[in-house]
Amino acid sequence: MRRILITLMIPVIWFLTVASTPVVTGAKVRIKAKKFKEAAEVLEENKAQYPDDPELYYYLARAYAGIAQWAKAGENYSLALLKNPDKDLKKDIEKYRNYHWASFVKDATALLQQKRYSETISKYRLANSINPDRKESHANLGVALLEQAQLCQSAEPPQPDSAKILYQEAIENLKAAIELDPEDHSFVKNLGHAYLISGNEDEAIRIYEEFLDESPDDFDVQRRLVSIYMNRSDFENSARIYSQWLNDAGLEIGTDISMADLYNAGMCYYQLYLKLDKSEDEATKQQAHDYLVQAAECFSRVYEDTPTDCESGVQLYYIYITLDRWDQVITTIETMIDNNCPRDHATLQNLGVAYMKQGDKTKAIEIWKEAEELKAKTEGSN
C-alpha cells in the first residue's frame, strides 16, 4: 500500500526590528559621548524629516536633559509618548523622565519640610515640566504656592499682586492633580482651601458642597463649610450642618464635637430664633421656639462641661427666661455664683425675678434688696 505523506506547511514568522534612522544613530553616539548640545542641534534640524519618529523625540529629550533644559526635555518626552512608541521604547521614555522627575521631587520635598517655599516651588515646577502626568508634584506644588502666597499677604508691606498670581497657580495645579486622580479627597479639600484663603468664598462653598454630595459624612469638610457659613452669618446653612452633627450617633461630644462647636451651634440656633420669632405665622413661630430649645440644649451642655464659663451661663439663663423655665434660671445663676461668676446687679435682679415666678416672694425680696445695695455702692464709687 502506498503511503500518503502529509506535509505540514509551518509558516515562518520573521521578526523585523526597525532600525534607528541615521540621524538618531548619530545622536546616540553624541549623547554617549556627552555631546548633548550637538545631539540636540542635529535632532532639531531633522525633526521635519522624521516628524513621526518617537525615537527621535526621545533622544532629543535626553539631549536637552543633558544640558538642563528641562522644559524642552519634558516637552519632547511627552511628544515621544504621543508618537506611538513600541513597548521597549515606551519603557525607556518612562524610565528616564521618571528618574529626573523623582530627583526634583526628592529635593522639593526636603525643601518643603524646611519651609523654604520659594525654592520648593522652583523644584516642583521643574518636576512638572519633566513629567506633567504625576499627580504628586502638582498637588505638592499647589501646597507650596499657597504657603508662599500667604507669606506675600502678611509681608510688610503686603504684596497682594504676587499673592494673587501664586494663588492662581496653586489652584491650577490642584485642579491638575484632581484631573489625574479624582478619587483623592485631599486634593479636593486643598482646592477648596485654596479658594477660601484667596478670598473666593463662593467657589470654596461650591467645591465643599459638591464634595459632600459624594461623601456626605466627611466631618472635616463639614467643619470647614460650617466655619464659612458662620462667618457669613448664614445661620440656615450653619444650622443644617450643626443639626446633622448633633443627630449623628457616631459623633461624640467632647471628642468629635468640641465645646466650642456646641457654643457656636447654640449661637446659630439663637440667631435663627431671633429672626423667626418676629413672624405672625404660627408655624414659623413654632419653628423659632424649636430653635430656642436647641440653643438651650447646646449652651446647657457647654455649661455643664465648664461651669466656670460665665458667658455660656449668661446665654443659658437668658434663654431659660425666654422659655419661662424659672427653676432652671435659678439653678444656672446659683451655679454661676458658686463658680465665682460676677454677682452683679443684673444677675441678682434676674435671680430675684426667678424666685418670684416660683412663688418664693421672701427669697426674691431678699435678693432684690442685695441687688439694689450693690447698685448703690457701684454708683457711689463712680
pLDDT value at 3 more than 90:
no
- Residue 381: predicted pLDDT: 65
> Strands (DSSP E) along 289-378, which ranges?
none
Mean confidence (pLDDT) of the chain = 92
pLDDT value at 7 more than 90:
no
170-226 pLDDT, tens digit each: 999 999 999 999 999 999 999 999 999 999 999 999 999 999 999 999 999 999 999
Separation in Å, CA 235 to CA 1, 109, 269, 303: 104, 41, 8, 22
- Residue 257, classed as helix, strand or coil, is strand
Residue closest to 77 by CA, chosen among 103, 48, 104, 100: 100
- Residue 347: predicted pLDDT: 95
**Which single residue is written with the C-alpha cell 431678699?**
366
Assess contact for 320 and 296: CB atoms under 8 A: yes
Instruction: Specify the higher pLDDT residue, 250 or 145.
Output: 145
Contacts of 239 (CB under 8 A, 6+ apart): 265, 268, 269, 272, 291
**Which single residue is written with the C-alpha cell 523585523?**
16
Specify the DSSP class assigned to residue 251: S
The CATH architecture annotation of domain 258-340 reads Alpha Horseshoe (1.25)
- Residue 252: predicted pLDDT: 86
Host H or E run for residue 247: none
pLDDT value at 21 more than 60:
yes
